[in-house]
Amino acid sequence: MRILSGLQPSGRLHLGNYFGMMQPALQLQHQGDAFYFIADYHSLTSLHDPAMLRQHSWDLALDFLACGLDPAKATFFRQSDVPEVCELAWLLSTVTPMGLLERCHSYKDKVARGVDASHGLFAYPVLMAADILIYDSDVVPVGKDQKQHVEVTRDIAKTVNHLYGEVLKIPEPRIQEATAVVPGVDGQKMSKSYGNILAIFEEEKALKKKVMAIQTDSTAIELPKDPDTSLIMTLYKLVADPAAVAAMEAAFRAGGTGYGDFKKRLFEAIWTQFEEPRRRRAALADDPAYVRQVLQDGAERARGVAQLTLDRVRRAMGLGPL
C-alpha cells in the first residue's frame, strides 16, 4: 500500500496540522510504503518571500522528524526536488474541465479571505492531483477540508484512463473524522491565516498566554458548565489521556472551578504531550547535515518513482519516442 501526504511550509506547526494530518500520516508509515513531502510549490500561491519559504521548509522538516517520521520507513522530501510533478500537472490540466475546478470550495474560501486570485491558486487541485498520482498512491490521509481535492484527483485520473487507457492508479482518501477539524482559540478552524493557532513548538510563556486567551462564555465559577460545548474540552481531548478527560468533564459539570483553571490544565497537557518532540527537534537543529541527507535521499527515491509514472503517461498521451 502506497501512502501519500504533504504539508505546506507556511509557518509554525500547530495542533490543527498535527492532529488533522501529521499524526494520521505518522501512524500510517508503519502500515505501508509512505511518501511524505514538504509542499513548497503549493505554498507559492500565498508566500512570496524566498527567505521565509526556505526557513519554513527547513522548520517543517525538523517538525516532521521530531514528531516521529522515520526515514527508514517513510520517503521524506521537498516537493520542488521532484520537478516531474509540474509536467504531470500540465498534462492533467489538458483534460481537467473548468467546471470541476470552479466547484472547489478551497479556492472560493481563500479568495473570500483576501488571497490573490492567481492561476496557481485556481489550479491548485490539479497540482495536488499530480502529487498524488505521480507516486501511484493508494491512500491519501487528509483533513476533512481537503477531501474534495482527492475526489477531484479521482475524477481527473478516471478521465485520463478513459482517454488513454489504464495508466493512472485511482487513490482513496482516508479521513480522521474525530480530529479532522481542530478549533483555534476563537472557535474557528485552527489556521495560521486566522491567527488563532496553538503552535506545538511555541516558547512556554507564549504558548501559555495563547491558551489562557481561549474564548469562553461568562458562566460564573460556582455554576456547572457544559463540557460538550467548550473549546477547552475539545482541545483537551486531543492531548490528555481518557482518565484526565473524564476528570475534567466531571469538574465542568460539578461547578466550583473557573475556566482559568481548566485552561491551565489544558496548557500543562499540551506542554507534556510534546515534551519529547521538543527535545528531538533541538537535537535535529544541531545536526543540519543529517536533515539535509534525509531530504536528499527521499528526493532521489521519489524522483525514481515519479519518472516511471511520468514516462508511462507521456507515452500514453503520444509524447513518447516517435
Q: Which domain, by its residues, includes 113?
A: 2-182+288-316
Sort 250 into a burial class: Cβ within 10 Å, 0-12 / 13-18 / 19+: exposed
Residue 191 lies in a domain: no
Question: What's residue 177's pLDDT?
Answer: 61
For the stretch 114-157, pLDDT in tens is 778 889 889 999 999 999 999 999 998 876 667 788 899 999 99
Residue 39 lies in a domain: yes
Residue 159 lies in a domain: yes
| 314 closest CA partner among 150, 167, 131, 100 | 167
Active-site residues, by number, are: 110, 189, 192
CATH of the domain at 26: 3.40.50.620
Determine phi and psi for 75, rounding to 5 degrees.
Answer: -85, 115
C-alpha distance from residue 131 to each of 33, 38, 237 (Å)? 15, 11, 33
CATH of the domain at 214: 1.10.240.10
> Is there a single domain that holds both residue 239 and residue 307?
no
> Is there a single domain that holds both residue 19 and residue 110?
yes
Residue 192 lies in a domain: no
Residue 260, pLDDT > 90, answer yes
> Is there a single domain that holds both residue 259 and residue 294?
no
> Is there a single domain that holds both residue 125 and residue 68?
yes
C-alpha distance from residue 159 to each of 155, 165, 169, 220 (Å)? 6, 10, 12, 59
Residue 322 lies in a domain: no
> Is there a single domain that holds both residue 304 and residue 162?
yes
| Tally of domains in the chain | 2
For the stretch 168-220, pLDDT in tens is 999 988 876 655 578 999 999 898 878 899 999 999 999 999 999 999 999 99
> Is there a single domain that holds both residue 18 and residue 89?
yes
Grid coordinates of 232: 477547552
Residue 213 lies in a domain: yes
Please tell me whether residue 14 adopts helix, strand or coil conformation: strand
> Is there a single domain that holds both residue 226 and residue 84?
no
3-state helix, strand, coil in the chain (%, to 5): 60, 10, 30
Q: Are the beta carbons of 272 and 244 closer than 8 angstroms? A: no
Residue 136 lies in a domain: yes
Question: What's residue 193's pLDDT?
Answer: 76
